[in-house]
Structure 1
Amino acid sequence: MATKPALTMRQAGQDWLLTCTPRPTDAQRAWDAEELALFTTGAHWLAAEVPLLRSVEIMPRIKARQLGPVLADVATERAWWLLPTDAGDLLDDLRHVTVQPPSWVLKCPPVLYPLNERVWLERPDGSGQLTDPILLGAALGPGGYRRPAEAST
């Protein structure tokens, strides 16, 4: 039986995520034990923390091919958008957004399934695609970013 494309993409996303830690075996062991794995920001990406509801509202405003991984915690109603490491202070002026500093620890479930009330709203796809902080900022800002097709309707 052939592997389904969605499952293959999810596995590619999980494989990519494991490259974002110096201890991929520890991450895999945590997942095998039904625990969240620890990933440190800074080397591969930064994490912008945004309220969960606001994140869900703005996700459709960003084109799918420009949307990077977004992790949510249902219990705390928070989401983390993975951004390039050079995002710097581009989001500093936005209320309710905190770009976590390098060396901050993000507890992640596997890409393949949710765990402990954490779920990938947008899964890593294996490409290394991260959300452009300018697009995220525009979507979160006053009036919100609208794709060109939305602007004309």
Structure 2
Amino acid sequence: MATQTPAEAMRQAGEHWLANCAPHAKSVHRRWEAGKLAAVPSGRHWDVVEAPLVRSIEIMPQIRVGALGPVLACARSGRAWWLVPLEAAEQCDDIPDVTVLPSGTPLLCPPPLRALDGRTWLVRPDGSGQLTDSLMLGAAFGPGGLAEAW
């Protein structure tokens, strides 16, 4: 029996976690196996904050280790989607250039270790369930953060 590499273990854990955030995990896995994006709705396990991609990349270092969760990016649209704790997205409602997506919004996701259709994970789901701290995200984008100086 072959020993699993750490990267393979992370891939499997991240895929399992993300697929199980959808109502039908098997459907998510089938889409990924077919080389397609899978729709995983927000509002069951996490909420989504949408932001400009370039600004998102710039502020990522401002968020401390242990407070940074999965971040999905799309180079084509120039957008990024931050996975944050349920109802915690309210803390980002009044931040310019940041949109809190309504609960139930489907997020079109590639598998954690592969890019598809211009989408890739800047911070990959690793199976731990770690989400981005919305207070830190709001502070990074808000007044005095990098977003204001941009």
- Report the Cα offset of residue 10 of structure 1: 2.2
- Report the Cα offset of residue 86 of structure 1: 1.9
Alpha-carbon contact 2:89-2:134 (below 8 Å) kept: no
For residues 5 and 32 of structure 1, the distance between their equivalents in structure 2, rounded to whole angstroms, comes to 21
- Report the Cα offset of residue 14 of structure 1: 1.0
Alignment of 1:3-152 (within 5 A): 3-144=4-145
For residues 86 and 102 of structure 2, the distance between their equivalents in structure 1, rounded to whole angstroms, comes to 10
Q: Helix, strand or coil for the counterpart of 1:80?
A: strand
For residues 126 and 32 of structure 2, the distance between their equivalents in structure 1, rounded to whole angstroms, comes to 18
Corresponding residue pairs, total: 145
One-letter identity of the residue aligned with 1:125: D
- Report the Cα offset of residue 88 of structure 1: 4.5
For residues 100 and 78 of structure 1, the distance between their equivalents in structure 2, rounded to whole angstroms, comes to 13
**Cα distance change of structure 1 residues 71 and 35 upon mapping to structure 2, 3 Å threshold:** same
Q: Helix, strand or coil for the counterpart of 1:57?
A: helix
Report the identity percentage: 52
- Report the Cα offset of residue 6 of structure 1: 2.3
For residues 32 and 142 of structure 1, the distance between their equivalents in structure 2, rounded to whole angstroms, comes to 43
- CA-to-partner distance for each residue in 1:63-110, whole Å, 9 max, x for gaps? 232100000011000000001112152111111100101111110001
Alpha-carbon contact 2:48-2:89 (below 8 Å) kept: no
One-letter identity of the residue aligned with 2:136: L
Alpha-carbon contact 1:11-1:112 (below 8 Å) kept: no
Gaps of 5+ in 1: 146-153
Gaps of 5+ in 2: none
For residues 14 and 66 of structure 2, the distance between their equivalents in structure 1, rounded to whole angstroms, comes to 15
One-letter identity of the residue aligned with 1:36: L
For residues 92 and 85 of structure 1, the distance between their equivalents in structure 2, rounded to whole angstroms, comes to 14
- Report the Cα offset of residue 24 of structure 1: 0.8
TM-score (norm 1): 0.90
Structure 2 match to 1:150? none
For residues 63 and 125 of structure 1, the distance between their equivalents in structure 2, rounded to whole angstroms, comes to 17
Alpha-carbon contact 1:9-1:126 (below 8 Å) kept: yes
Alpha-carbon contact 2:49-2:89 (below 8 Å) kept: no
TM-score (norm 2): 0.92
